[in-house]
Amino acid sequence: MGNFGLTEIILILLVLVLLFGGRKIPELMKGLGQGMKEFKKASHLKEDEDKAVVKPTDEEK
């Protein structure tokens, strides 16, 4: 599973063209790319927050 050959990729592309039409596919791919970019940005922000050292206040000591 997960090993796509050339035939499977061509079949998937053909189904996408039939479902959405040739003009909508670039818009869909642009939206997918922006979504992936936002996901990566959010995950990097979360990592930065996790690495930040929070100093205890005088009340917490």
| pLDDT tens-place values along the chain, 61 residues long | 678 899 998 999 899 888 888 888 888 889 989 999 999 888 887 776 766 655 666 665 5
Looking from the CA of 22 toward its CB, the CA atoms found within 13 Å total 0
- What's the structural domain count of the chain? 1
Helix then strand then coil, in percent of the chain rounded to 5, is 70, 0, 30
Return phi, psi of residue 2, to 5°. 95, -10
* In a domain? residue 57: no
Q: Residue 26's domain spans which residues?
A: 22-50
Task: Let me know if residue 58 belongs to a domain.
Answer: no
Neighbours of 16 (CB within 10 A): 15
Residue 60's alpha-carbon distances to 41, 49, 53, 54, 55, in angstroms, are 33, 20, 15, 12, 10
pTM for the model stands at: 0.49
